[in-house]
């Protein structure tokens, strides 16, 4: 039974990816999965894709999910800052929307979504990225990324959520509960996901998820843990957020990777030290948002995430 490497949310941070890749030279695993968001926010989208391709050429067997920033970079949809009145007016005209609220409601419809309301820094950096992507980067993002991957029987990975693979945030017990009770978790014991940049494990006893008349009813409670080593229980269902390589959130800003041992039924979160100052300098040299710098500051400089309202505003994507 294989040992699985999982990483996610590199966000064009080549320094963080190189630090993780160097550590991985000493780690035993059988195959790897990256859960998306290779680009966006960071200053080195092409270098990140080149590094991923080099890792594959070096013998690492990898498959990849598509993240929301990846989809925006290749034009599947458009990131728009609708707090900008000029942008809002254009979107309302093009989409024949009567109000900002209609734009937000349309974004929530998966089958037809076109405009994705985002914060200003997300719109700015994805436009910056599109202007600088090489043909190799564009080809990788267009041809190599998958919505939902079956790692093995009963184990899957997605970028955000099995209910909405690129956009739904699983932030707390309540949102995890909605995923557990959805039919997208049928026959799934473990779902690895990312998107929020916070490592966490949610679990639910399998017997507490029951079907009545075609509807799923949850009879028990969802529990969560932020422990770095988790022994999985074969009688439970799991949603496991693997965190972020390039833009970790919370009190610990070190890049994260995960090893899932499917035989021992363990999940271990690993943190890697790296110097974020070169990444910060490049962001500043390109004139990108100061908010992108604050998210990369070392642990001893980080005061709080309270000023980062991306995680508290469900109407606007990160």
First to last CA, the chain: 36
- Give pLDDT tens digits for 85-125: 999 999 999 999 999 999 999 999 999 999 999 999 999 99
Domains of the chain: 3-68+132-310 (3.60.21.10)
Task: Residue 111: count other Cβ atoms within 10 Å of its Cβ.
Answer: 4
pLDDT confidence of residue 221: 85
Q: What separation in angstroms does the CA of 299 have from each of 19, 26, 261, 283, 302?
A: 16, 25, 29, 19, 5
pLDDT confidence of residue 147: 97
Give the pair of three-digit tokens for residue 80: 């728009």
Regions of the chain with pLDDT less than 70 = 1, 299-318
pLDDT confidence of residue 26: 95
pLDDT confidence of residue 316: 61
The Cα–Cα gap between 50 and 52 comes to 6
């Amino acid at each position: 039974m294989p040992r699985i490497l999982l990483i996610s949310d590199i966000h064009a941070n080549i320094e963080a990816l190189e630090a993780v890749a160097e550590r991985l030279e000493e780690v035993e695993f059988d195959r790897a999965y990256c859960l998306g968001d290779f680009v966006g926010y960071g200053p080195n989208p092409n270098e990140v894709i080149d590094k991923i391709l080099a890792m594959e050429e070096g013998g690492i067997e990898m498959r990849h999910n598509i993240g929301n920033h990846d989809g925006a970079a290749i034009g599947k949809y458009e990131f728009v800052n609708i707090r900008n009145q000029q942008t809002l007016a254009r979107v309302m005209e093009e989409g024949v929307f009567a109000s900002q609220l209609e734009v937000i409601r349309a974004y929530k419809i998966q089958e037809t979504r076109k405009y994705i309301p985002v914060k200003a820094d997300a719109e700015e950096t994805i436009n910056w990225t599109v202007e600088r992507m090489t043909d190799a980067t564009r080809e990788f993002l267009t041809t190599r990324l998958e919505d939902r991957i079956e790692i093995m029987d009963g184990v899957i990975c997605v970028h955000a959520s099995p209910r909405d693979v690129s956009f739904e945030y699983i932030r707390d017990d309540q949102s995890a509960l909605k995923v557990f009770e959805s039919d997208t978790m049928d026959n799934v014991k473990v779902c690895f996901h990312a998107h929020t940049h916070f490592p966490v494990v949610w679990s639910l006893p399998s017997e507490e998820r029951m079907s009545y008349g075609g509807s799923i009813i949850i009879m028990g409670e969802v529990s969560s843990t932020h422990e770095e080593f988790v022994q999985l229980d074969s009688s439970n269902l799991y949603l496991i957020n693997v965190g972020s390589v390039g833009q970790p959130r919370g009190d610990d800003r070190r890049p994260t990777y995960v090893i899932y041992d499917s035989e021992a039924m363990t999940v271990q979160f690993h943190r890697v030290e790296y110097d974020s100052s070169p990444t910060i300098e490049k962001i500043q040299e390109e004139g990108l948002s100061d908010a992108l710098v604050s998210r990369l500051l070392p642990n001893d400089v980080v005061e709080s995430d309270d000023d980062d309202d991306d995680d508290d505003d469900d109407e606007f994507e990160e």
